[in-house]
């Protein structure tokens, strides 16, 4: 089969590799029909994730059809159309029992790490993929849900909701600032209304992204390139700051922005993947009663979000802005890597 293979920092190739096979009785093999590229893939290509080694097939998002089923799989069959979750869960360990699938203790790649696709085992940017713990790591796609919508449930929609909205403890009537209007930030914006946010302020350097954010549920957009943008945001509240600030970029400056925007007693929810250390000014924060959360998505809300997508309550297909075929994988990477220029949110790659 063909697959997108990592060959060290800055090096990747769309090349022939062996087809995957069933290894454990809880495995299935899925023919990947739609996949996409995540910002984390770009981090890998920069060398920010040293656990990813030469020869690894990248990708952790996808939709496809099951072609082979292991002997111990009980809820799935050949021919089922499924969402491949970015997090694998054995369903039996202590963390899985808590719904903290991100830290599944099963020995597939590494104990305590649920994100294994395109990281510790071969991923979904390929014509076929082996899926461990299939009963707990795949979701059947309901009739009427498009591939464009379904693939967004692999990662970005649950990530924005779980790590941004839920960890941030958004409550009815809250004012929420989302710093970074990229795909994950827009997912947080789209789902903040589920918990009753009264006002959702998108903050970004790109005016195009800010305008786009309003189509995803933002009530306001503020360009952080303005020297007085913090005061502008505070003026939208009672002058004290927002109830919840969601960091969705992954650089020190945007985390610092969240600290400046949040009110005493508020929450900062860090969603972005940081490749560099961030300074935490505890000497200033402790007296403000600020709660700071962070984490890797566990996809424990995927089933709930899928119901909302199926009932057209969440228009997940809006994230798909560019489309490619599998043999255009390298072109898709180029387009996604230049998102500010190409205005790409999520590139959808279909077989």
Kindly list the distances between the CA atom of residue 205 and the CA atoms of 28, 39, 192, in Å, as whole numbers in the listed order.
43, 18, 21
pLDDT of amino acid 276: 86
Look-up: residue for tokens 């255009």?
328
**Other C-beta atoms lying within 10 Å of the C-beta of residue 80:** 17
pLDDT, averaged across the chain: 96
Q: How confident is the model at residue 176 (pLDDT cuts 50, 70, 90)?
A: very high
- Residues 288, 166 share a domain: yes
Residue 293: phi and psi, rounded to 5, are -120, 160
Taking 80 as the threshold, does the pLDDT of residue 107 lie above it? no
The average pLDDT across 48-64 equals: 96
Is the domain of 216 the same as that of 129? no
Residues 194 and 137 both lie in one domain: no
Range of the domain at 174: 159-294
Closest of 241, 245, 216, 246 to residue 231, by C-alpha: 241
Q: What is the CATH number of the domain that holds 26?
A: 3.90.180.10
What the block records as the tokens of 212 is: 């786009």
22-39 average pLDDT score: 97
Q: Are residues 250 and 318 in the same domain?
A: no
pLDDT of residue 48: 84
- The answer, yes or no, to whether residue 108 has pLDDT greater than 90, is no
pLDDT at position 2:
98
Is the pLDDT assigned to residue 326 strictly greater than 80?
yes
pLDDT at 16: 98
CB within 8 Å of 348: residues ≥ 6 apart: 34, 36, 147, 148, 151, 320, 322, 323, 324
Find residue 246's DSSP bridge partners: 178, 269
- Say yes or no: 114 and 215 in one domain: no
Given a cut of 80, is residue 7 above it in pLDDT? yes
Mean pLDDT of the region 307-328: 97
Q: Which residue has the tokens 């941004």?
A: 164
Note whether 202 and 182 are same-domain residues.
yes
CA distance 69 to 57: 21
The length of the chain is 351
Residue where one domain finishes, among candidates 247, 270, 294: 294
Q: Give the mean model confidence (pLDDT) for residues 76-85.
A: 98
The pLDDT of residue 144 is 95
Q: Which tens digit of pLDDT belongs to each residue from 212-248?
A: 999 999 999 999 999 999 999 999 999 999 999 999 9
* Tokens, residue 329: 């994988």
Is residue 15 packed enough to be buried (19+ CB in 10 Å), middle (13-18) or exposed (0-12)? exposed
pLDDT digits (tens, 9 = 90+) for 240-284: 999 999 999 999 999 999 999 999 999 999 999 888 899 999 999
> Mean pLDDT over residues 302-325, rounded?
97
Mean pLDDT of 83-94: 96
> Count of domains in the chain?
2
Give me the mean pLDDT over the 47-74 stretch.
Answer: 96
- How many Cα atoms sit within 13 Å of 327 on the Cβ side? 0
Flag whether the pTM goes above 0.75: yes
DSSP H or E segment with residue 336: helix 329-337
Domain final residue pick, 253, 277, 294: 294
- Whether 346 and 319 share a structural domain: yes
96 touches 56 (CB < 8 A):
no
How confident is the model at residue 148, as a pLDDT?
Answer: 97
Same domain, 21 and 147: yes
Nearest to 318 by CA among 191, 179, 219: 191
- What pLDDT is attached to residue 275? 81
Q: Using the 3D structure, point to which of 250, 271, 294 is the last residue of a domain.
A: 294
Count of Cβ atoms closer than 10 Å to residue 111 Cβ? 11
Mark whether 110 and 193 lie in a shared domain.
Answer: no
Closest CA to 152 of 121, 187, 102: 187
Q: What is the CATH number of the domain that holds 188?
A: 3.40.50.720
Do residue 234 and residue 111 come from a single domain?
no
- Interhelix angle 207-215/183-192, nearest 10 degrees: 30
């Amino acid at each position: 089969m063909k697959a997108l293979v990592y060959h060290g920092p800055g090096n990747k190739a769309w090349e022939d590799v062996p087809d995957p096979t069933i290894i454990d009785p809880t495995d299935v093999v899925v023919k990947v029909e739609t996949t996409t590229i995540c910002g984390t893939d770009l981090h890998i290509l920069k060398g920010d994730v040293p656990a990813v080694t030469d020869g690894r097939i990248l990708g952790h998002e996808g939709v496809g059809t099951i072609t082979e089923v292991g002997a111990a799989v009980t809820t799935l069959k050949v021919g089922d159309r499924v969402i491949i979750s970015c997090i694998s869960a054995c369903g039996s360990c202590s963390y899985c029992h808590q719904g903290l699938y991100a830290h599944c203790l099963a020995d597939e790649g590494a104990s305590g790490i649920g994100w294994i696709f395109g990281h510790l085992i071969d991923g979904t940017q390929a014509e076929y993929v082996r899926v461990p713990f299939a009963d707990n790591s795949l979701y059947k796609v309901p009739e009427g849900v498009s591939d464009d919508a379904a693939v967004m449930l692999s990662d970005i929609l649950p990530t924005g909701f779980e790590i941004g909205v839920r960890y941030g403890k958004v409550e009815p009537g809250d004012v929420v600032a989302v710093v970074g209007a990229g795909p994950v930030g827009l997912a947080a914006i789209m789902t903040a209304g589920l918990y009753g946010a009264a006002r959702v302020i998108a903050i970004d350097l790109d005016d195009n992204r800010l305008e786009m954010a309003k189509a995803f549920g933002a009530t306001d957009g503020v360009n952080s390139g303005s020297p007085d943008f913090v005061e502008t945001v505070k003026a939208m509240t009672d002058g004290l700051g927002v109830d919840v600030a969601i960091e969705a970029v992954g650089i020190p400056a945007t985390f610092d922005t969240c600290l400046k925007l949040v009110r005493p007693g508020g929450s900062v929810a860090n969603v972005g993947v940081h490749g560099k250390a961030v300074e935490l000014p505890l000497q200033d924060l402790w007296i403000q009663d600020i709660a700071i959360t962070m984490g890797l998505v566990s996809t424990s809300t995927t089933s709930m979000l899928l119901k909302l997508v199926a009932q057209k309550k969440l228009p997940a297909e809006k994230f798909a802005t560019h489309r490619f075929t599998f043999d255009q994988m390298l072109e898709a990477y180029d387009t996604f890597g230049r998102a500010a220029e190409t205005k790409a949110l999520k590139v959808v790659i279909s077989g």
